Structure 1
Amino acid sequence: MKIIKNLIKLIKNKKRILLAYSGGIDSTVLFYKLMDLKKIKKIKIRAIHINHQLHKNSIKWANHCFNNCKENSIPITIVKVIPNIKKFGIEGGARKARYDAIKNNILKNEILMTAQHQDDQCETFFLALKRSSGPKGLSCMPKKKKFFNNLLIRPFLEISKKKIYQIAKKNNLKWIEDNTNNNIKYERNFIRKKILVPLKKRWPFFIKNCCISAKLCSDQEKVIKDLLKFFFNKYLCKKNMLNINFLRKMNSKTINIILRTWIYLNSNNFFSIRKIEILKNTLIKNNNNFENKKIIFKKYEIRRYKEYIYWLNTIPSLKNIILSWFYPYNKIILPYNLGYLTKHNTYIKNSIKVKKPEFNELINIRFYYNKKIKLKKDKIKRKIKTVWQKYDIPPWERQKTPLLFYNCSFIGAINIFTTNKNKYDSKKYFYIKWFKNY
């Protein structure tokens, strides 16, 4: 009855549940507990079984789950997947394929329910130790978490494997025995068989206390997250910018935590301690010639301009791209999701006012110009780099700002400035505006 009360508390007013049903003892016990819950609470239950096609009995297991659901009038979806073992390994590939399949089959407003238990949590703790994780990693699996646009609940996280086995035997349940669970070449099986067995023998309370430690790490992370949220709201101009002057007032360990959190907020990934140190030495501590330096991370890069570091999406070079823009100058889409340009007859904020092209002038958009230019009100020519600096444009923004040309004459940088080539009378002009996608 305690498990049922816990389930009611966890699902609250939600009425749709999708059970990840492997047919093993853990998901089988959860299956029957949900059947008990259904007798006292108005809920709809569906099951999903993922056939990883990695075992000779995989079809037999799928049939077992199908028949059990049929007997209990529970709809079930059976999905065959092909794990990418070469890229992620057997365990990682199976896990990714499984959750991708669930993501593609879960319905709106359904809760995903999985049967990980206390012993699984302890194994996860050891795997996090192996990866030299900090408190975030050692927090292990949360009981509740967001799953794409849905919710994932793990109601058995505080229940031991021994207790689950007792429930199964007491109720004469039938489940699948997967003999690969005894193969210690897999990391979890090695931890389960070779590490946790002697530890439980010596200290019967070890797994429970290990999970308490994970919970303490999780609580600590929540407190740090709240404090950092306050910090970021106060000292970040935008999500992708970080104030270096403020960072320099912190001690090194605090800077590490702030940087790791900032990187996670932008990418949902963590930097290693080594990469954090490289970031600090390259872009924060070093005050000389930092403008062209950057840290590459997957499809992102981190760069510095003046007293801020920026988190940026990496895009290919636009140096050789030329886009023709023909009359009547309807919206023109820029490459690599940079946004679009529009023509207007009246001024709108940040647009540039330009002359109407002559009959023999073709409007074209480029992203590179490296000659000296004269701004509209200037008396002398100056390097374009000096002009960019005058308008406080970071180097990476210069490389993706659309430049307006009439034939080969440079008219201006859209949204920013125009050159002395932009000469118009009181009637022959219009406005061009760049709408960014970032």
Structure 2
Amino acid sequence: MLDSLAAALERLPPAPRWLIGLSGGLDSHVLLHGLHVLSGGRTLPPLAAVHVHHGLSPHADRWQTHCESLCRDLSIPLRVLVVDARPATGESPEAVARAARYRAIADAMEPGAILLTAHHRRDQAETLLLQLLRGAGPAGLAAMPRLKPFGPGWQARPLLDLDRDTLADHARKAALTWVEDDSNADPRFDRNLLRQSVMPRLRARWPSLDATLSRAALLQAEAQDLLAERAREDLEQVRGRVPGTLSVAGLAGLRRPRLRNALRGWLQDKGLPMPGRARLESLIEQMLKAGSDAGPRVAWEGAEVRRYRDDLYAMRPLVPVDAGRVWQWTPTAPLRLPELGITLDPAILRSHWALDPSTLTAPLTVRLRRGGEVIRWRGQTRSLKKLLQEAGIPPWERDRLPLIHVDEQLVAVWGMLPGSQD
């Protein structure tokens, strides 16, 4: 077991620290113990452990105490993170707890650090079958990668080539102790049902099931790498007029499978959640068939795609703002507008709008567009609406641009710089 673990660790990128995900169960205790043993004869990055207290089980405090005892005996620092993992109505308890756990760990990691988790070959086989039952494509069927970007660093699974029986044998020989999560016996959870009722029958017929399914996951990962490479090539050819956007005309020239693949790659590059197949098809139909002035929008949880002219924009859902909101700004210091994701810098007023804050006798008034505004633009009085259209600013952004007034006169539009427009 230790030789396989050591070989997996040698393939990891350099890191300032290795952070061990420690639940207190058999798998994570074996990983913790194995790393401690290896650190005695090798130069490893500094080790630390992290335990997430979900607060969902009445035994959670006992699990934390157990992890503290393990780390104290091995002189490995432990950080305990307390999270609220209570699911809302209709949410999966497993998914909510997993998301809360990983979010807390990512927030606690230093840049470049590697989170080591104790997933093994049996976990990989179960994940592949679960993804297959959910109708996943190659990305899902690739199951769990050995190494992937995570938070400000990486997540690695150095035990992924080992069977759980191998881990259990190591635990017995090393006289390790561990806790059992009673929720792992609850058949209401999909993975538990698969683990308790389905996988044993499959293994009885096909003893090499775990190794075979893990190999299938690896083949799917290779296929996904090829699809990602093709997506990058296609995205280079269909770039939109605005950086980060895609050209509708360019996308229309792709065959439907390549079009879907390119859109998935684009959304992934932006860190946005993937839409389901039906929503992706709806996106394609609406965006490609709409008129250039229609401005369609397709949204799903955590993301939305909009069209303006020939360009597609993908983003997090915009937070609604009060169109009647007014801010008073004394421009001796920046003004933060968190609802807009903007900070107004006094230096911009001086460098781009020739407005000297030191000459002002009263605070500036900052508003959002209400319609009918005019502004002095390169020696002429112009309609703001026409200027925004000529600048190619999408409609949803126009209503979120801070308009800066002296008294009642519009003197500057944040995001439109006179010196940068044709």
TM-score, length basis structure 1: 0.80
Change (3 A) 1:338 1:20: closer
Q: Does 1:279 align with 2:280?
A: no
C-alpha separation in 2, matches of 1:96 and 1:138 = 20
Alignment RMSD (CA, Å): 3.7
Q: Which moved more, 1:213-222 or 1:226-235?
A: 226-235
The alpha carbon displacement at 1:193 in A equals 1.2
Q: Which residue of 2 aligns with 1:196?
A: 199
Q: Map residues 365-380 of structure 1 onto 2, 5 A cutoff.
A: 365-371=366-372
C-alpha separation in 2, matches of 1:54 and 1:410 = 55
The alpha carbon displacement at 1:249 in A equals 0.6
C-alpha separation in 1, matches of 2:18 and 2:375 = 66
Aligned residue identity for 2:52:
I
Q: Map residues 215-294 of structure 1 onto 2, 5 A cutoff.
A: 215-237=218-240, 240-287=244-291, 289-291=293-295, 293-294=296-297
The alpha carbon displacement at 1:301 in A equals 3.5
CA contact (8 A) 1:24 1:177 kept: yes
Change (3 A) 1:239 1:376: closer
The alpha carbon displacement at 1:417 in A equals 8.8
Q: Which residue of 2 aligns with 1:427?
A: none
CA contact (8 A) 2:292 2:308 kept: no
Structure 2 unaligned regions, length at least 5? none
The alpha carbon displacement at 1:407 in A equals 4.0
SS in 1 for 2:261: helix
Change (3 A) 1:345 1:82: closer
Change (3 A) 1:206 1:413: same
Change (3 A) 1:161 1:367: same
The alpha carbon displacement at 1:248 in A equals 0.7
C-alpha separation in 2, matches of 1:67 and 1:362 = 59
The alpha carbon displacement at 1:90 in A equals 2.8
**Could you give the per-residue CA deviations for residues 307-329 of structure 1, whole angstroms, max 9, x where no partner exists?**
11112451424532344456xx5
C-alpha separation in 1, matches of 2:222 and 2:8 = 22
Q: Does 1:118 align with 2:151?
A: no
Q: Which moved more, 1:390-399 or 1:241-250?
A: 390-399
C-alpha separation in 1, matches of 2:16 and 2:370 = 60
Q: Which residue of 2 aligns with 1:91?
A: 94
C-alpha separation in 1, matches of 2:172 and 2:345 = 68
SS in 2 for 1:19: strand
The alpha carbon displacement at 1:196 in A equals 1.0
Change (3 A) 1:247 1:176: same
C-alpha separation in 2, matches of 1:275 and 1:190 = 29
Q: Map residues 309-328 of structure 1 onto 2, 5 A cutoff.
A: 309-313=312-316, 314-317=318-321, 319-324=323-328
Aligned residue identity for 1:148:
G
CA contact (8 A) 1:283 1:290 kept: no
Q: Which residue of 1 aligns with 2:393?
A: 393
**Could you give the per-residue CA deviations for residues 80-119 of structure 1, whole angstroms, max 9, x where no partner exists?**
4442233643322332333344335445654321111111
Change (3 A) 1:375 1:142: same
The alpha carbon displacement at 1:360 in A equals 10
C-alpha separation in 2, matches of 1:366 and 1:118 = 58
CA contact (8 A) 1:352 1:414 kept: no
CA contact (8 A) 1:10 1:153 kept: no
TM-score, length basis structure 2: 0.82
How many residue pairs match? The answer is 414
The alpha carbon displacement at 1:20 in A equals 1.9
Change (3 A) 1:332 1:102: closer
CA contact (8 A) 2:118 2:158 kept: yes
Change (3 A) 1:376 1:2: closer
The alpha carbon displacement at 1:372 in A equals 8.3
The alpha carbon displacement at 1:353 in A equals 6.0
SS in 1 for 2:92: helix
C-alpha separation in 2, matches of 1:200 and 1:359 = 79
Q: Which residue of 1 aligns with 2:67?
A: 65
Aligned residue identity for 1:166:
D
CA contact (8 A) 2:5 2:159 kept: no
Q: Map residues 341-380 of structure 1 onto 2, 5 A cutoff.
A: 342=346, 348=351, 351-352=352-353, 364-371=365-372
C-alpha separation in 2, matches of 1:355 and 1:169 = 75
The alpha carbon displacement at 1:404 in A equals 4.8
C-alpha separation in 1, matches of 2:377 and 2:24 = 74
C-alpha separation in 2, matches of 1:23 and 1:417 = 57
Change (3 A) 1:243 1:24: same
Q: Which residue of 2 aligns with 1:18?
A: 19
C-alpha separation in 2, matches of 1:360 and 1:170 = 80
C-alpha separation in 2, matches of 1:289 and 1:109 = 45
Q: Which residue of 1 aligns with 2:176?
A: 173
C-alpha separation in 2, matches of 1:110 and 1:20 = 13
C-alpha separation in 1, matches of 2:394 and 2:141 = 39
Aligned residue identity for 1:103:
A
Provide the identity percentage.
Answer: 23
C-alpha separation in 1, matches of 2:321 and 2:392 = 21
Q: Map residues 44-193 of structure 1 onto 2, 5 A cutoff.
A: 44-86=46-88, 88-107=91-110, 110-193=113-196
C-alpha separation in 1, matches of 2:374 and 2:63 = 73
Q: Which residue of 2 aligns with 1:305?
A: 308
Say which one has the larger Rg.
1
C-alpha separation in 2, matches of 1:117 and 1:138 = 16
The alpha carbon displacement at 1:139 in A equals 1.3
Change (3 A) 1:99 1:363: closer
**Could you give the per-residue CA deviations for residues 276-331 of structure 1, whole angstroms, max 9, x where no partner exists?**
1221222222226413x3223446542212111112451424532344456xx546
